[in-house]
Amino acid sequence: MSTVTTGSLPALTSGLRFPTSRRGARYCIDNVDRFLDTLDEELVLTEGDVERSLALAERIEAQSFPRVGLMREGYQAAVVDEALEAVVRELRADPLSDHNALVICVDDFLAAHQPLTWADAQAGAVGGTVRLYERSSVEKAFADFRAIATAGDTHETHRKLRQFRKKLTLARLGDWESGAGADGEGYPAFAVDRFFALSISDHCSAPLSGE
């Protein structure tokens, strides 16, 4: 049995969008945004470093934000808390340090990551559970991504890449908590998520052709 996760990155904050409100528990928008900006940079540095990942998870858990007063607009506190809890879970579920090369090219990713069965992935873990995306799902996404990215650095290419990331769906290999139904092979979800975040960001920051 496979389930499907939508969106691109539970693990990286660059894709997070928080609803604002003037009622209920709300965090100061500027404080949250500043924290997320620094968090994006630190998440990149955790690649392949289990100790750094775990230390960052602890820092996120200890982070607090000032709340805004009556009728002032702010981010809904419950939504921010839930998103950061998801980031912490991903940081603590990134135990394949030897297999998490920092790459932004499809060929480099495939050279660094061999498809794994559920059992092989857990056998190589350094604490925690390794979650996998189905091999066919990831490789199809790579093919679609490559087709867009090789069209050149133009406004249209950048627009298509952002749209690709927004609509990206990847099938999970089995149940991510128990491993039930995890038949076949897959790629580590944390590494795949990070690849798409970094690679698309890198492509979209490139100078446009003719400029």
Q: What is the pLDDT of residues 155-187, one digit of tens each?
A: 888 888 888 888 888 999 999 878 899 999 999
**Is residue 66 scored above 70 in pLDDT?**
yes
Please give the residue that has the higher pLDDT: either 143 or 206.
Answer: 143
Residue at 53: amino acid letter: S
**Is residue 25 scored above 50 in pLDDT?**
yes
Query: Look-up: residue for tokens 């069209």?
Result: 151
What pLDDT is stored for residue 16 in this prediction?
60
What is the average pLDDT across 80-105?
66
How confident is residue 101, by pLDDT bands cut at 50, 70 and 90?
very low
Neighbouring-strand partners of residue 6: 169
Q: What is the token pair recorded at 123?
A: 């056998």
What pLDDT is stored for residue 187 in this prediction?
92
DSSP 8-state assignment for residue 153: S
Please give the residue that has the higher pLDDT: either 34 or 104.
Answer: 34
Please give the residue that has the higher pLDDT: either 135 or 190.
Answer: 135
| Maximal C-alpha separation, the chain | 54
Please report the sign of the dihedral spanned by the C-alpha atoms of residue 122, residue 128, residue 129, residue 130: negative
Residue 89 to residues 128, 156, 190: CA-CA distances in angstroms? 10, 35, 11
Q: Answer whether 124's CB lies under 8 Å from 130's CB.
A: yes
Q: CA–CA separation, 57 vs 177, rounded Å? A: 19
pLDDT in tens, 106-137: 888 888 788 999 998 888 766 567 889 999 99
H-helix or E-strand spanning residue 38: helix 29-45
Q: φ and ψ at 74, to 5 degrees?
A: -155, 170
**Is residue 211 scored above 70 in pLDDT?**
no
What pLDDT is stored for residue 103 in this prediction?
54
